[in-house]
Structure 1
Amino acid sequence: MSITCQDLLNFAEDCSSRNDEVGYRNAISRAYYAAYHNVYPAMQGGPKDNHQGLIDYLKTDSWKGNEIYNKTDLIALGYMLQSLKDNRILSDYKLSHDMNETDARVAITTSKKVFEKITEMTKSKIA
């Protein structure tokens, strides 16, 4: 059975609804992976086997003729993914760092913004 990036985002919301720190941490992690797996298939170039490599590519080289999308959109995706990844690292590896409902909500909202941006970008290139 396979899953989609939307399934990961839905699970992030389910995790957050537990209303405990374990749920919040898992929501943050799943929100990042949902966004990552939404972005990388839309990119024609750049590293896809390295998370930080894709983020760096979006912020620096993707818009130098390597992708068909707008420079501002690509850079915005890079910064949104970086923010999500930074918080995922905190939630997954820094167990002494408190994570709360606000952190989970911000991660889920940011991930949704990534989804919206990718949808907007890919539709504008198809139309």
Structure 2
Amino acid sequence: MPVSNSCFLNWSEKCLSEEGLSETDYRNIVSRSYYSAYHEVLSLADNDLRLGVSQMVGPSHLKLSETLTNFICEDKAKQKVIRRLGARMHALHGMRIRADYYFDITLTDTEAKSLVKNVNDVFRVIKNELQDSAA
């Protein structure tokens, strides 16, 4: 059964409802939630906005956030939403890097919950503010 971009986010939300989570659990929640948003936003950039981010040379996560942060179009309201999405992805990526590589810095349940909330906001923005006007 194929998975969708929201599957990892759903898994993270389910995990957060459980008792007795460890810091390792929080790190996995942050990482999986980030990737849920990353693939959703990458799909928007490549398929709906036709920006070709997947074809760009260089670090793909950075290219995605940079491309969106520098997005220009005639619809200035849409441009503002997409640029904010790029900035949000940059911040979420920073948290994912921290969760995956910086074990000397404690990652808490509050941070994991905050990241999951932010990822939900990414999905909401795409669905409610960009879905109909992306093309």
Q: Report the TM-score when normalising by structure 1.
A: 0.86
C-alpha distance after superposition, 1:41-78 (max 9, x if no partner): 11211412511101100001x2246x997111101111
In structure 2, the residue corresponding to 1:33 is in which secondary structure? helix
Contact kept? 1:25, 1:99, Cα under 8 Å: yes
Q: Match for residue 83 of structure 1? A: 91
Q: Relative to structure 2, which stretch is displaced further, 28-37 or 16-25?
A: 16-25
Structure with the higher fraction of residues in helix conformation: 1
Could you tell me how far apart the structure 1 residues matched to 2:77 and 2:38 are?
17
Question: Any unmatched runs of 5+ in structure 2?
Answer: none
Q: Relative to structure 2, which stretch is displaced further, 111-120 or 34-43?
A: 34-43
Matched, 1:110 2:118: yes
Contact kept? 2:78, 2:130, Cα under 8 Å: no
Matched, 1:51 2:57: no
Q: Match for residue 26 of structure 1? A: 28
In structure 1, the residue corresponding to 2:105 is in which secondary structure? coil
Question: Any unmatched runs of 5+ in structure 1?
Answer: none
Structure 1 segment 115-126 matched on structure 2, within 5 A: 115-125=123-133
Q: Match for residue 38 of structure 2? A: 36
Q: Report the TM-score when normalising by structure 2.
A: 0.82
Contact kept? 2:38, 2:89, Cα under 8 Å: yes
Matched, 1:101 2:103: no
In structure 1, the residue corresponding to 2:133 is in which secondary structure? helix
Contact kept? 1:63, 1:70, Cα under 8 Å: no
Could you tell me how far apart the structure 2 residues matched to 1:123 and 1:53 are?
22
Identity of aligned residues (%): 27
